[in-house]
Amino acid sequence: MLFDVRTHPFQSGRGPLSPGSRAGLGAALALLALVSAAELADGRPAHYVALMVAAPFLAAALASWRVVLGVGALATLIGAAFALAEQTMSLVSAVNVAGIALATGIAAAVASVREGQAERIAELSKLAAVAQQAVLRPLGPQVGTLSVAGRYISSTATAEIGGDLYEAMDTPYGVRMIIGDVRGKGLDAVRLASIVLGSYRHVAYERADLRAVVTDLDRAVARNVGDEDFVTAALVEERGGTLTIVNCGHPAPLLLRRGAVIPLEPPAPAPPLGFMPVVRPRVERLEPGDRLLLFTDGLGEARRDGEFFPTADRAWRLLGHGTVGDGLASLETALVEWVHGRLDDDIALVLMEYTGSRPAPTAAVPSWEVGAAES
């Protein structure tokens, strides 16, 4: 859930063939069969042997270098058989067979380089997943009076990891959540995200006012970034059915209520963390069944053919059913389908549902007073 890398590295070694190797082998064998059939139909001398030089290169586009060598050896043998079938082997036929052998070596080298790159990308993806999972932790399913789910959708447009972040905690001041987006990519962004989350996990328990939490986070960011780095963030607090939101340059959360979708824009704009934001809280009274979607700007920027994903128009239909986890799964499916599987930026999503006020605790009656209490 935290990091989904949609890559399928080619298998190496002597195990079963990977799907890529099978596809490359099949395409190369089909080409050899077609050329051989054309050669047999045409008769002597060998006119089409030179076309077999394409077989190892075709295999190299998808298959492993071992498969490429096998295809090249087969192509060389078939070419040599057609050349030897001539009454007198011509110089052209000999050069064609030699060319197939040379092409096999070049194609195998290309396949080896491609396999090495695929393995390095796969290793980097694993390291990225470990780094990001060390920063983000699973949410929910219940935090205080809220049902909560979080989801991280990884971009397929780049192998770099992003700095999107989220957290939800039950504190003495109510359930508090944060969602944020670090400017930039790579491990530096993950490092800054970990600093923000580490600070938030501490100060969320210590500061009664969300504005004080913002001030502490801004100091933490300012101490650890350059002049052009920053973190957009939205902080949410639910206490006794009252929702308080402070926004530091982040996309406004969406409130889903009885079929309507309401953007909770801040009373006044504020800059991101790192630029000393002065925030004004927005306060809403929640109703049981209300849902709130927090998201990073990757959702707002997702588009196909220049048309942006209609988040507000489709939010209720996608997010208003089942559990909050079901809602996020539906949103991700619709989003990936909209962009045809290619996102330009990572996306962090948090969906919460207000289930009602926490019941007041009742004092336990000692067993020896039960009779007196009933009388």
128 versus 279: which is more confidently predicted?
A: 279
Length of the chain: 375
Within a 10 A sphere around the Cβ of 183, how many other Cβ atoms? 17
Q: Which residues pair with 260 in a beta bridge?
A: 257
Would the pLDDT of 232 be above 90?
A: yes
- Is the separation of the CB atoms in 234 and 214 below 8 Å? no
First to last CA, the chain: 56
Give the model confidence (pLDDT) of 121-152 as tens digits: 777 767 666 666 667 888 989 999 899 999 98
Query: Strand, helix or coil at 280?
Result: coil
pLDDT at 10: 38
Which residues have CB under 8 Å from 218's CB, separation 6+? 248, 273, 274, 275, 276, 277
Higher pLDDT pick, 1 / 113: 113
Residue range 332-341, pLDDT digits in tens: 999 999 998 8
| Residue 90 CA neighbour count, 13 Å, CB half | 11
pTM assigned to the model:
0.67
Of 47-51, 70-74, 204-208, the poorest mean pLDDT is in 47-51
| 75-117 pLDDT, tens digit each | 899 888 888 877 667 788 888 889 889 999 999 999 899 888 8
Residue 48 has pLDDT above 90, yes or no: no
pLDDT of residue 5: 37
